[in-house]
Structure 1
């Protein structure tokens, strides 16, 4: 009896040291991913790349890192292994070295492939570690984890301004050291993670209550709608993170270095929004926060292409904060739809939805080449309005 009580208390306890460590690992992983868009202005200049080719680099990175995530997640749901965490970071290390010395466009694509593969391996297992360490504070735990990744992404403009503008493409070689640090952190996390897998297998063997056909249909509908909503959100994010810097340079006449400030503010606001979003979802409900976040972004997105430069910084901050406040909540909502397949659920949201959104990087780049950056930004500004579909999601407790 006492053993069962201890196990129950362990499940409910939030393990903050592990959450912080896996968040640091997430930051380092996504910081290496951020190296790729950070290099875009340099590669465009030195390799004479078109916007479409830039879109293809983003496509390869995001498709590899994202579409493989639900596949890896499904595999790890059946065969979980703590070794995946440091192995994923090792793949990113190889990609960083390749990117630093890539002589032409196709070699860049090959190097980016390794970076994406490392990310695809890391994310599902990282989400499972968070699930085990969360206790009853799933929203907060997921926010701690995701804020690491968002912060890593937000560093891209700083990388451009402080590393790649002065040092060029070879500055990417320094990030091999980042990968080594990440491997050390994840080796420590993997030891704790290994100790939890046996208990998880025992709970899984006890089985889960069967679901009737109507319940399965509700889960499938909710998952499809959830993926579509994140897909639309990621198209808007792709438009801002990949092309807004070029829009600022062309239409506002600012330098590459100055443009990074505006992009950094958008991304760091997203990291802050992610951190606060999880506890708000725990308090007010996951669906309510997703509605407020998706629709709340729309007015700021619609006005952004037409603002004077003096107003751009506050508006991109608010847009980034509101848009990303529901990011962790989407993941937790999916995990609760599929409690027996946490890795696959996390992969669907963080992976597949964003991988499909990577297609947007190519499409948006083509729009910018064929039409104008102004047309591109205007079209992107309408995407958050699709958040109205969030009202169709079932409330918590109404699906299973």
Structure 2
């Protein structure tokens, strides 16, 4: 690609201004992507009843989906950093399309695992490359850009249970195929984004690689590794807890309060919708007051509410779930941008690692809590999982890098 193919004014535009149309487009495709993926846990009650699956098998389905995504994402992100492909996003969405169609007709455990594995492969391409696009369009407002991108995913995740309650539960497994229309729409939008992305790659090629990849925080490699390890532990505490809520909250409500399947799906939607709102808030607040403080307040701040949830009545349980979703979800945008600030020039790899860690820990957490629920009870796993946000206290060990980077 010729370095002279893009005029200088566009280079200046990409460097200094936030490209909101691209951010909104990538937000919409993230919404569609995660909406389709969230159909998987949303239809667990239907699959469990239809095929007689155990909770352990439900956990394995989630494990396969999230592990295919998590194991491939760091490699996909590293490859994207070195060899960006503008239309790889649209190609990745084709895997999701194929997986959805297969899931709608799967007649056994093995085919269901293959279908969710294909959907996971689509996710492994989408998230790291989309994070690169979001930062490229950020105009320097990386927290805001990541939040706009991320809120689409959370909104899509929230819509999954709602659409499952309205469509899949009444009309059965075959109706999952209707979500293929969303995949086709996403592919169309991602081709448009790919056209813009292709032009921006020429702009990036005009810049010095050293200028985009040189850290400005002054931390040693050892301190960077230490900070990344702390972020990994925080992601563990957040997504192990969210795995319990996302995959077993409906069963908890049905078991403890005798709620219907549809009613429990609406409550899960409320939790996930609050999570979407919290995600949008976290990034801009992190740009303003510092990402470390957002991370601290998000994870540790959720602990008092998670500790109360297993012992509350139905109304308070729903209210607490909404508060927890709002508070605990605000951390991820701040965590991801903080991590990319630690290692600038490796946005795809870092995004792949942390999205992969998110999915992988979510899958392991789902399998673990499913196994534990079979051995004990649904109510017991909620009493245990409430302790996880207390790990947020280690955020205090993270170095303060915002003040150093903002001086540059």
Picking from 93, 100, 121, the partner of 1:89 is 93
Segment of structure 1 superposing worse, 371-380 or 204-213: 204-213
Q: Deviations over 1:257-283 (max 9, x none)?
A: 111121111100000111111111111
- Matched with 1:22 is 26
CA–CA distance in structure 1, aligned partners of residues 316 and 21 of structure 2: 40
Aligned length: 398
Picking from 52, 59, 62, the partner of 1:48 is 52
CA–CA distance in structure 2, aligned partners of residues 5 and 219 of structure 1: 36
Change over 3 Å in CA distance of 1:192–1:212 after alignment to 2? closer
- Matched with 1:331 is 336
- Matched with 2:372 is 367
Change over 3 Å in CA distance of 1:209–1:128 after alignment to 2? closer
- Matched with 1:125 is 129
Picking from 151, 154, 161, the partner of 1:150 is 154
- Matched with 2:63 is 59
- Matched with 1:274 is 279
CA–CA distance in structure 2, aligned partners of residues 399 and 199 of structure 1: 27
- Matched with 1:99 is 103
Change over 3 Å in CA distance of 1:251–1:399 after alignment to 2? same
- Matched with 1:180 is 184
Do the aligned partners of 2:147 and 2:333 also contact (CA within 8 Å) in 1?
Answer: yes
User: Structure 1 unaligned runs (5+)?
Assistant: none
Segment of structure 1 superposing worse, 109-118 or 344-353: 344-353
CA–CA distance in structure 2, aligned partners of residues 87 and 316 of structure 1: 36
Segment of structure 1 superposing worse, 230-239 or 325-334: 325-334
TM-superposed CA distance for 1:174, in Å, is: 0.3
CA–CA distance in structure 1, aligned partners of residues 34 and 216 of structure 2: 37
CA–CA distance in structure 2, aligned partners of residues 387 and 206 of structure 1: 35
Matches within 5 A, 1:227-306: 227-306=232-311
CA–CA distance in structure 2, aligned partners of residues 46 and 14 of structure 1: 48
Pairwise CA RMSD of aligned residues? 1.8
TM-superposed CA distance for 1:399, in Å, is: 8.2
Do the aligned partners of 1:227 and 1:353 also contact (CA within 8 Å) in 2?
Answer: no
User: Structure 2 unaligned runs (5+)?
Assistant: 1-6
Change over 3 Å in CA distance of 1:53–1:387 after alignment to 2? same
TM-superposed CA distance for 1:42, in Å, is: 0.4
Change over 3 Å in CA distance of 1:249–1:212 after alignment to 2? closer
Change over 3 Å in CA distance of 1:216–1:397 after alignment to 2? farther
CA–CA distance in structure 2, aligned partners of residues 88 and 140 of structure 1: 25
CA–CA distance in structure 1, aligned partners of residues 270 and 52 of structure 2: 28
Picking from 356, 361, 372, the partner of 1:356 is 361
Change over 3 Å in CA distance of 1:211–1:272 after alignment to 2? closer
Change over 3 Å in CA distance of 1:176–1:209 after alignment to 2? closer
Do the aligned partners of 2:271 and 2:321 also contact (CA within 8 Å) in 1?
Answer: yes
Do the aligned partners of 2:235 and 2:357 also contact (CA within 8 Å) in 1?
Answer: no
Picking from 194, 197, 220, the partner of 1:193 is 197
TM-superposed CA distance for 1:352, in Å, is: 2.3
Do the aligned partners of 2:243 and 2:362 also contact (CA within 8 Å) in 1?
Answer: yes
Change over 3 Å in CA distance of 1:191–1:6 after alignment to 2? closer
The reply to whether residue 7 of structure 1 matches residue 11 of structure 2 is: yes
Q: Deviations over 1:18-48 (max 9, x none)?
A: 0000000101111111111111010000000
CA–CA distance in structure 2, aligned partners of residues 47 and 259 of structure 1: 20
SS at match of 2:206: helix
TM-superposed CA distance for 1:204, in Å, is: 4.8
- Matched with 1:160 is 164
TM-score (norm 2): 0.94
CA–CA distance in structure 2, aligned partners of residues 61 and 340 of structure 1: 29
CA–CA distance in structure 2, aligned partners of residues 206 and 282 of structure 1: 24
CA–CA distance in structure 1, aligned partners of residues 210 and 353 of structure 2: 25
